[in-house]
Amino acid sequence: MMNKVWLITGSSRGLGRSLAESVLEKGDIVVATARKPEQLKDLKTKFGDRILTLKLDVTDPNEVKSVVTEVISQLGRIDVLVNNAGYGFFGAVEEQSEADIRSQIETNLFGVIYVTKEVLPYMRKARSGSILQVSSVGGRGAVPGISAYHAAKFGVEGFSESLAQEILPLGIKLTIIEPGGFATDWAGSSMDYATPISDYAETLGLLKTYLQKNTPPGDPKKAALAMIQVVESENPPLRLALGKDAVELIRRGEKSKSEELEKWLSLSLSTDRDGSLTVFDTDTAKLFK
């Protein structure tokens, strides 16, 4: 069988780097992009022509288009797209500047959209392909202190869930990857911190201390192998949580939301027009399967 061509953004460190290395060890071809591709020099030395390293700032649509065009020109196809580039920013909403918030949304959400849109026409033409959108457990529930990050990751979830339904008949598969805490530099060099306001110390302090002083439980190498397994699956999930903490946080969040929905059900149902039909009473209900 022909080796797959993987395009992985944010490959210079963290989960992206672990995935790139694991894919190369598997024997596939990797296009590893990063803002500083020189950080991938060791992988280039080790794997030679099976890795193509390219500079990419995912927030620049023109640069995204240029990189995808170059990949197609050199390799002819993109079989797997992994939107992994991103970073965190810690601070209360009031502590974050407009620039801080915009940077989070641009990198963690619009970067995903830009790259996906550029790759889709080639996958659509081939009637095949796999897309892994690296979201976060923070795309399913929120904690204080990373509101802009949550806003971006919630956006990735909605964008990707809708997209998955659009492309399924075209032979393109999509899975949203939702990691919990992994032993990467996400809370270190990949995390920026706002100048604190003392009034928020109580609500943000506990999480900030945890992020700065604890090593998360997740193993990036094992996460990479799980992501490869998803790509190789005939029927991959729409969402895949990675790590015990992610699973537990999602379980707790879904339980809380379900309980709240039922508690306020009578008020929720009181707002319909008398005798009106809902989408679930019509053929349109199939859209919500």
Position 197 in a domain:
yes
Position 273 in a domain:
no
**Segment (H or E) for 242:** strand 239-242
Catalytic residue ranges: 135, 149, 153
Tokens of residue 37, six digits: 């591709």
In the DSSP assignment, the letter for residue 194 is P
DSSP strand E in 58-171: where?
A: 80-83, 88-90, 129-134
pLDDT value of position 285: 65
Pairing of strands 29-34, 88-90: unpaired
Instruction: State phi, psi for 27 to the nearest 5 degrees.
Output: 110, 0
Tokens of residue 176, six digits: 């949203």
| Nearest to 74, CA basis, from 44, 59, 54 | 54
Position 150 in a domain:
yes
Show the CA angle centred on residue 210, arms to residues 258 and 98, nearest 5°. 75
CATH of the domain at 219: 3.40.50.720
* Domain residue limits at 135: 5-242
| Residue labelled with tokens 């700032």 | 57
The one-digit pLDDT tens for each residue of the chain (289 residues) are 579 999 999 999 999 999 999 999 999 999 999 999 999 999 999 999 999 999 999 999 999 999 999 999 999 999 999 999 999 899 999 999 999 999 999 999 999 999 999 999 999 999 999 999 999 999 999 999 999 999 999 999 999 999 999 999 999 999 999 999 887 665 555 678 899 999 999 889 888 887 777 777 889 999 999 999 999 999 999 999 999 999 999 999 999 999 999 999 999 999 999 888 877 777 766 666 6
Position 272 in a domain:
no
pLDDT value of position 53: 97
Position 81 in a domain:
yes
pLDDT value of position 278: 78
Give me the number of domains the chain comprises.
1
Name the β-bridge partners of 176: 133, 239
Position 257 in a domain:
no
Cβ–Cβ contacts within 10 Å for residue 26, how many? 15
Reduced to 3 states, what is the DSSP secondary structure of residue 225? helix
Name the β-bridge partners of 218: 182
> In Å, what is the CA distance from 252 to each residue of 136, 174, 237?
15, 25, 20
| Residue labelled with tokens 């193993």 | 219
Tokens of residue 43, six digits: 């992988």
Position 110 in a domain:
yes
> Is the sign of the CA dihedral 8, 159, 87, 57 positive or negative?
positive
> Is the sign of the CA dihedral 270, 272, 273, 275 positive or negative?
negative
Position 182 in a domain:
yes
CA–CA dist 144, 240 (Å, integer): 24
Do 125 and 76 meet the contact criterion of CB atoms below 8 Å apart?
Answer: no
